[in-house]
Amino acid sequence: MELVVTDLAVQRGGLTVLSLTYAAHADGLKAVLSVRENLEFWAAIHGVGGVREAMARMNLAELADRRAANLSAGQKRRLGLARLLVTGRPIWVLDEPTVSLDVASVALFAGVVRDHLASGGMALLATHIDLGLPEARVLDLAPFKAARPMVVAGGGFDDDSAGAFA
C-alpha cells in the first residue's frame, strides 16, 4: 500500500484524512449561535448543506432559533451529533456519542448511524451501551484490561502486603 503525504492530506489507498470526522465529549458548539447557526457554520466549513435535514433527523427543528447556551445537556449532545450530518465525511469516529442522551435520543441516533452505514459510510464508536445495531462488529477490550496496581509498603505500587487486592 502506498502512503502519499501532501500539504492538504495524508492518503493511503483511496482514503484521505479528509474522509473522517471525529466527535467526543466536547460537542464543538458555539454557545452564542443558535442551533441553526451552529449547523450552518459547520456546513460552511465543510462545504456541505443539509442543515434543515440534520435538524429534523436529530429532532432539533423546533429548537432551530434557540441559542446553544440555552440548550439542555441532551439537546447540546444531539446538536453536536447533528454536525456529523453536515460534514459530508464518510467515516465517523465517535467517543461516547450517547452521553447525556435519553433513551429516545439514543434510538434516534442509532437510526442516523444505521442510515449512514446503509449509504456506504463507516462508523467507529466507543460506547458502553448497545445501540441495537446487529450489523455492527464489536471489539471487546475486556481481555486487555490492565492488572490492578500493587501497593508497596508505605503506599507504593509494588507490594500488596496489606492485602488490598486479595
> Does residue 1 surpass a pLDDT of 50?
no
**pLDDT, tens digit, 9 for 90 and up, residues 58-102:** 999 999 999 999 999 999 999 999 999 999 999 999 999 999 999
The pLDDT assigned to 164 comes to 54
Residue by residue, DSSP assigns 43-72 as HHHHT---HHHHHHHTT-GGGTTSBGGGS-
Q: CA-CA distance, 104 to 125, in Å (whole number)?
A: 19
pLDDT band at 56 (very low <50, low <70, confident <90, very high): very high
pTM above 0.85, yes or no: no
Q: CA-CA distance, 123 to 126, in Å (whole number)?
A: 10
Cell of 149: 496496581
Q: Which domains does the chain have, with CATH numbers?
A: 18-144 (3.40.50.300)
pLDDT band at 43 (very low <50, low <70, confident <90, very high): very high
> What is the Cβ-side half-sphere exposure of residue 104, based on CA atoms within 13 angstroms?
5
Q: CA-CA distance, 70 to 76, in Å (whole number)?
A: 9
